[in-house]
A and B are shown apart, each in its own frame.
Chain A
């Protein structure tokens, strides 16, 4: 133990120059709550539930309200300050909704521990998906559909500023404020949050409850799902996107009409692709576990990005498809894999 401290001290001394140059980026960890990897994961999971709860208005809006602490507040220019469980539930009920409605795409989640909890920020862009998309013929050539416009970005976009608090029920929003994107100076706001070392913890590799998931399980399942676009769109360093894609699944897995490696690989190979191609953007990944099972859901938007030539002409990208996936994951000797996946296309009910 003493050796470790000594070694750390030595490394610290040697690196003093580098550290002082980077003070602005990394915080001094003595004055803040030490957060473990599982704390970061729980806070991320809280944030990932937000869009599902708001866009679906599920449980009469109370799924949304219950993401906040008892005295929690949501604040935005358009709605003003909303505080209290019933008021927050009413906010979620009052939005456009439906069990399959997806609109809030939230990314770039940064977290900074504070003396009594944590603060965080994320980017938000709202995307509306067309409702009455004309049916395409059976087995269309997927390449011919690239560039079809079936949705659009809303005018709503910007960043959230959150305060999180650890309640007996888990991490909750103490407050969340939406700040619309705007260029120009703002002396009241500093765009960066500091980074702190994550505190090591036994739950990093051991589930907190029997049959539950460890921090490392969450990280591996997050990465499995984050790999989806890379595998499908560009094969991620391989020449066969079909093999990369089917490699995300168990041998007996099902996605839509396709079951097993061979069918899933064939499905992958039918999709538009290329070594530098990107199209499937996934976010808001919610992971749950019970009795040794792991399930998850996340938002999808398929975007046809303007290529360099089109960009130079000012041609904007187009939204091709939106919705959410629901998954069952399975632990295998090779790591976590997708056992079943279902795509629910975006649909607005009210």
Chain B
């Protein structure tokens, strides 16, 4: 299981590394893939819908599952039924049509020969209910591959990397709370 997950992480890193060994270079035209303005907008719209699908549990989780291609995968969860189940059971006792938790920004999309890839930042927020303060619960970066299906752009794969700080220089003293 751990080997599988680390393999998936490694693959994602490799894919991103290969496609853009430097961000400056990545911003140049990527050989073998182009996206129209319409493609970018449609992919941005797909990404933004992710939060609503997972937070509202709409359609018993199938609204979430249907943002993925038929063989789409989130982390190690694959297939429509499994993805719907994942959405239904995420924050099982919270959720609903007015529930907001997954805040995404820094949305970037690049063309690839097979479609597109992209990333966003996640800030998972426990928004105040009943007067208690709101708080940032967790966060990280999503790395995605997108594919254009007959129904439109869909997630082919999506992986969340929880935020972890790197190794500080020897002179730095990181407070324990941040590690």
Instruction: Give a binary string over A265-287; 1 marks a CB under 8 Å from any B CB, 0 the rest.
Output: 00000001111111111110000
A215, B37: Cα distance in complex, Å: 6
Question: Secondary structure of the A side of the interface?
Answer: mixed
A182, B151: Cα distance in complex, Å: 32
Partner of A308, one of B36, B152, B162, B178: B162
Q: How many residues of B contact A (CB 8 A)?
A: 94
Tell me, yes or no, whether B90 is within 8 Å of chain A by CB. no
A18 and B56: CB pair below 8 A?
Answer: no
Within 8 A of B (CB), among A305-321: 305-311, 315-319
Tell me, yes or no, whether A227 is within 8 Å of chain B by CB. yes
Contact size class for A?
Answer: 35 or more
Closest residue of B by beta carbon distance from A147: B178
B38 and A21: CB pair below 8 A?
Answer: no
Give the chain A neighbours of B165 by CB distance below 8 A: 146, 272-274, 277, 307
B106 and A143: CB pair below 8 A?
Answer: no
B23 and A227: CB pair below 8 A?
Answer: yes
B166 and A237: CB pair below 8 A?
Answer: no
A219, B70: Cα distance in complex, Å: 28
Partner of A157, one of B21, B53, B102, B125: B125
Tell me, yes or no, whether B46 is within 8 Å of chain A by CB. yes
Within 8 A of B (CB), among A283-330: 283, 303-311, 315-319
Knowing that A24-B63, A191-B52, A306-B136 are A-B contacts, what are 8 other residue pairs whose CB atoms are under 8 Å apart, sorted by A's residue number? A24-B59, A26-B151, A108-B104, A153-B135, A197-B152, A237-B13, A237-B21, A317-B136
Smallest CB-CB A-B distances: 8 pairs: A274-B166, A247-B24, A191-B56, A15-B150, A317-B136, A143-B172, A157-B127, A37-B37
